[in-house]
Amino acid sequence: MQENSPTSSAKGRAIVVGASSGIGAALVRRLAADGYRVAAVARRESELRALAKDAGASVLAYPHDVRETSQTLALFDRAVAELGGLDLLIYAAGVMPRIREDEYSIEKDRDVVETNILGASAWLDCAGAFFERKRGGQIVGISSIAGDRGRRGYPGYCASKAWLDTFLESLRNRLSRYGVSVVTIKPGYIDTAMTQGMSKLFWMISADEAARRILNAAAARARVRYVPLRWGLVGFVIKRIPSVVFRRMSI
């Protein structure tokens, strides 16, 4: 573990969960470049250490599997103490196992639930309690446009993102009276390991561009933000397609 003492010159203190690659890693790099001290949390230790080394001394690496929820509170408290406080928590961890349309796998669904739901709940609960006591702060959750409807291709993943949307809305309603901002981010297709090998993807943007838009949404204290914004129109339309029609669609 890197042992860096807090510095008063930091613009802010942030925890990014799911930081070793993709959107999470891009968020860490952008926050560090913007003057934040960042606790980068992820399961893959070698990638996490490389990210911390590349991003600079303001990034602290915390290897952690979000499925190990019994460890979350102690690690959260440790990260906050070593950062010297906390202003922002971003939950970017998530899995989307590839699943055939004729496949029904409790093992894959369990991994989705433990990572996308239970892992998120553990970290977001810690942040919610901390920011309520502090009377301020910000939570950002990386959901997905996939949470807008139950697509036939990824039932477990779609359900997990619908859960995250509702959980974040509940936190927003609970914490807004304490000056805490809760932002739900709903990306479309992002060029990450999760989308590699998938066909018929459109409006693809890089992880770095997604991170830029996410941090802009956080700065604007948005409630729900599609990334890019044009996915909001897609979501608007998809939510209004009758179920009898939607079930025949291949999206």
The residues near 37 (Cβ < 8 Å, ≥ 6 apart) are 4, 6, 7, 10, 12, 13, 14, 58, 59, 60, 83, 84
CB 150 within 8 A of CB 159: yes
Q: Report residue 67: phi and psi, to 5°.
A: -70, -20
Beta-bridge mates of residue 191: 206
CB 235 within 8 A of CB 161: no
DSSP letter assigned to residue 199: -
CB 161 within 8 A of CB 93: no
Per the residue annotation, which of 36, 157, 189, 226 is the catalytic one? 157
3-state DSSP call for residue 113? helix
The residues near 146 (Cβ < 8 Å, ≥ 6 apart) are 154, 157, 158, 161
**What would you measure as the largest C-alpha separation in the chain, in angstroms?**
58
The CA distance from 116 to 140, in Å, is 14
Q: Is 157 a catalytic residue?
A: yes
Q: Known catalytic residues?
A: 157
